[in-house]
Amino acid sequence: MKNENLHAAEQAHAHGDVSHGQSSHGSKKSYLIGFVLSVILTIIPFGLVMGEMMSGTSAIWMIAVFAAAQVAVQVYFFLHVDFSPEQRNTLYSFLFTLFVVAIVMIGSLWIMHNANENMMPGMGKMQMDMGMKMPTNADGTPRLDRELEGFEDKLDLPETYQPSHQGAPAATAQEDHSDMADHSDMTNMQQ
């Protein structure tokens, strides 16, 4: 009878059925250490940014480093994923998940960067060729809206082009429409 119980316990352990008395569950001390470290890893970057000791790109990198450290603390202290043989499959699954998330994030950033660069190619060259600086938004992107009044004056536009004023349609010279087809029957079709 003893051998059967021992064999059942070994099979349960081999299949990952771990009882409450074994090491895969954390102790109160482990949870408390994880909680304190998580709070510390949250307060430090919050204090540095709110105290205006860091800003801009350096603050973003600092927050990212503390976030990665906090993920490691939480995975170790709360999920109990470590390098032990019992946790090896869980560790590999977690690392594979991180790998896939990294591919998605880096790929998304790469696609957005390339789309931004290729949507209006030559914009920088156009500014230099005209000998003027285009107005930009706060983020550095060119401002292409109604506030570019007077910008048309510096372009070599045809004489028939007149810039619109206060939302009115652009006035053009007499236009010759003799080459267009006769659409007098269109009124009958619309009825």
52 is written with which tokens?
């205006």
| pLDDT score, position 85 | 86
**pLDDT for residue 163:** 59
pLDDT in tens, 36-71: 999 999 999 999 999 988 888 889 999 999 999 999
Q: Calculate the average pLDDT of the chain.
A: 74
pLDDT at 83 over 90: no
* More confident call, 6 vs 160: 160
pLDDT band, residue 100 (cuts 50/70/90): very high
Among 26-30, 69-73, 98-102, the least confident range: 26-30
At 120-168, the pLDDT tens digits run 666 655 555 555 666 677 777 776 655 555 665 666 666 665 655 555 5
**Three-class secondary structure of residue 21 per DSSP:** coil
Mean pLDDT, residues 172-176 taken together: 55
When pLDDT is cut at 50, 70 and 90, the band that residue 116 belongs to is confident
Residue, of 130 and 90, whose pLDDT is higher:
90
CA distance 27 to 176: 88
pTM of the model: 0.45
| CA angle in degrees (0–180, nearest 5) for 39-40-44 | 120
